[in-house]
Amino acid sequence: MTTHRDLEGRFAVVTGSTRGIGRAMAAALARQGCHVAVSARARADCEETARALAREHGVSALGWPCDVSDLQSVRALFAEVRDWCGGQLDVLVCNAGFPLRADIWNTPLHATPPEKLEDWYLGLFRTDTMGSVYATHEALPLFLARRRGSIIYVSSIPALAGFQGAPYTVAKAGILGLMKDVAAEYGRFNIRANALALGNIRTPATYDLLPEEIRQRFAAQAPLGRWGTPEEVGEAMLFLASDRSSFVTGQTLVVDGGIIRS
Ligand SMILES: NC(=O)c1ccc[n+]([C@@H]2O[C@H](COP(=O)([O-])OP(=O)(O)OC[C@H]3O[C@@H](n4cnc5c(N)ncnc54)[C@H](OP(=O)(O)O)[C@@H]3O)[C@@H](O)[C@H]2O)c1
């Protein structure tokens, strides 16, 4: 028996895809028959993840190291991607994010040492926001050549409602601005841009590092009363990546168990 796979034969790039949400999104794409380029900073992790996805889902998978905060590194990734997919890129997922750091996250603006301001704000902005700008810049010529493409940006609910981690909020809000501009400018070329605004998602970078009391407090923020899983984010991303959302662009899909209700 054959089963239909929504993204059979398509090609996607997912940044920051060796762990957590990015890895689950790469796996979700591969499960739908999509060939996937896996990327993060550690080369061995990229290669191992790509091998695993190819083996498990019967797709072609490229594993290539890239630091999204470095334009040359992103250009090198896309040079490789162009060859790998023969210019036939369909989907870009801008997921790579600056690692969660307790000092940056928990220090309110007035208490931030002045000598840290640039470092903290620009550090997050370089990875989350500029990383998304660089990847989009490199993917657009491929999308424009074929008059098609879907870009999914990974933002976060503080970008919509504010929270205590101001540098993170600023960077993630910048991503939403980028998403809207890309949607407005490139819609006429059948290139769509949407974002996921994520709530509390169980990953090694979040849940695994927190004490039980805080895990429970975060779970209780959501009407659904729990943390989300990377696989649930993968399902939401698949909708935006596939033709099922062919008339959806410029939107932010909130995946947070109901914390933000619009
Ligand atoms: N987990 C949550 O609750 C949550 C909530 C809202 C939004 N988000 C967003 O979701 C995304 C994924 O989060 P996660 O929890 O899955 O994080 P994670 O488990 O720490 O995974 C991050 C991934 O990105 C890679 N990465 C980190 N810095 C990078 C860089 N400069 N260039 C390229 N790759 C880089 C990491 O590999 P290397 O370290 O080897 O580079 C890893 O593959 C992030 O954008 C995050 O802000 C997460």
Ligand 1 neighbours (beta carbon < 6 A): 15-22, 40-42, 45, 66-69, 95-97, 99, 127-128, 154, 156, 198, 200-201, 203-206
Enumerate residues 6+ apart whose C-beta is below 8 A from 163.
157, 169
Ligand 1 centre to CA of 23 (Å) is 10
**What is the 19 CA–ligand 1 centroid distance (Å)?**
7
Nearest CA to ligand 1 atom 44: 97
* Residue percentage of the chain with pLDDT more than 90: 94
**Residue among 238, 239, 227, 167 nearest 198 (CA):** 227
- Rounded distance between C-alpha atoms, residue 200 and residue 157, angstroms: 9
Mean pLDDT of 54-63: 98
On whether the CB atoms of residues 89 and 11 are closer than 8 A, the answer is yes
> In whole angstroms, how far apart are CA 218 and each of 162, 166, 213, 257?
15, 18, 9, 11
In angstroms, the CA 255 to CA 83 distance is 34
pLDDT digits (tens, 9 = 90+) for 137-190: 999 999 999 999 999 999 999 999 999 889 999 999 999 999 999 999 999 999
Find the catalytic residue in 121, 168, 186, 207: 168
Q: Which residues of 240-262 are buried (b: 16+ CB within 10 A; e: fewer)?
A: bbbeebeeebbbbbbbbbebbee
- Give strand pairing partners of 93: 14, 152
Residue of the CA atom closest to atom 23 of ligand 1: 16
Structure tokens at 68: 């999204």
Chain-centre distance of CA 188, in angstroms? 24
Q: Which range has the worst mean pLDDT, 4-8, 16-20, 65-69, 191-195? A: 4-8
User: What's the pLDDT score for residue 165?
Assistant: 83
Strand 91-94 to strand 149-156: parallel, antiparallel, or no bridges (unpaired)? parallel
Would you call 134 a catalytic residue per the annotation? no
Report CA(22)–ligand 1 centroid distance (Å). Answer: 7
Which of 95, 178, 231 has most ligand 1 atoms within 8 Å of its beta carbon, as the pocket-test mutant?
95
Q: Closest residue (by CA) to atom 37 of ligand 1?
A: 40
pLDDT of the residue at 4: 84
Model confidence over 80-104: pLDDT tens digits? 999 999 999 999 999 999 998 989 9
Residue 102 contacts by C-beta under 8 Å, 6 or more apart in sequence? none
Q: Report H helices in the chain.
A: 20-31, 43-57, 71-85, 102-106, 114-124, 131-146, 158-161, 166-186, 212-221, 230-241
> CA nearest 259: which of 225, 230, 216, 214?
225
- Note if the pTM is more than 0.95: yes
Other C-beta atoms lying within 10 Å of the C-beta of residue 202: 20
Query: How far, in Å, is the centroid of ligand 1 from the Cα of 132?
Result: 13
- Residue 131 pLDDT: 99
Q: Which CATH number fits domain 11-253: 3.40.50.720, 3.20.10.10, 3.30.2290.10, 3.90.1170.50?
A: 3.40.50.720
